[in-house]
Amino acid sequence: MTDLSSYQESDEGTDRQGRPADKIPLAPMPPRRKNPQVVAKPQAATESGKEERLQKVLAAAGVASRRACEKLIVSGRVKVNGKVVRELGTKVDPNQVMLHVDGQLVIMDDSRVTIALNKPTGVESSLRGDPHDLTQFLTDYRERLFHVGRLDVDTSGLLLLTNDGELANRLTHPSWEVPKTYLATVKGKFTGKTAQELRSGIMLEDGFAQADRVSIKGTHGGLTLVEIELHLGRNRIVRRMLEEVGAPVMELSRIAHGTVKLGTLPLGATRRLSKPELSVLMQSVGL
């Protein structure tokens, strides 16, 4: 991944409306698609009828300590099946209930696994068991995982893998417009006018393409470091868009997928998404 230290800082960068580009929020959920017409359903019960106190269920799910969960309940920050509950004596069946804390779904099913991988270049986005595919990074996981979308062989960075088919489907379906953010090192002159051209949209051989946000992060010699966000999922779309505006890509890395950020995850390493992180991601696509 590109070393930012060698680049001169630049504050140039705006969104489509010309507003200053901000950093991607870590915790807040992005705006939902209008009228998604999706009704979230609780997980099917394996052993129904075994009710436990609400604060115990929340604590077991990793929300907080039992004492802290009691405070959350009393303060009205907990919803049980869509309704605010403040009574500490409330009992629920953890296998059949849907819980939200501060609007975020509480994940209680440990069988659902989603991980983040910092994919190196030269690695194929496949799981056939070949020497140069993703299998080499998943030896610590017993679950049957599949990748959420793909990254080109020449592109590094964040790739999500999961055993949750519905989550994977929504993260990749165009109707949910899940944003993906890339850091590109480009050759040639890249100015604010170039960035605006990408935000306004350009015509490629397979149709119209438009960036949601473009920000110039710095320059070094004849190279420019550009951060670009878009929700399109077409083949090599970032490289083709930048090539079209006269800024061929020398290096490309994905640094965010939806609400999940690459952060400081080392190249070739994986990490399991935490329950709060997974909850935010699921809510962003109506789950």
Angle at 126 between CA 125 and CA 128, to 5 degrees: 160
Nearest Cα to 113, choosing from 138, 149, 76? Answer: 138
- Asked about 140 being catalytic, the answer comes back as no
Q: Which of 152, 154, 164, 206 is catalytic?
A: 152
SS3 198: helix
Contact 130, 124 (CB under 8 A): yes
Confirm if 120 and 114 have CB atoms less than 8 A apart: no
Task: Say if residues 134 and 151 touch (Cβ distance below 8 Å).
Answer: no
CA distance 37 to 239: 34
Long-range contacts of 149-152 (CB under 8 A, 24+ apart): 149/125, 149/233, 149/257, 150/125, 151/119, 151/125, 151/254, 152/125, 152/236, 152/239, 152/252
Q: Supply the DSSP symbol for 8.
A: E
Nearest to 151 by CA among 185, 180, 110: 180
How do 213-220 and 8-9 pair as beta strands? antiparallel
Active-site residues, by number, are: 152
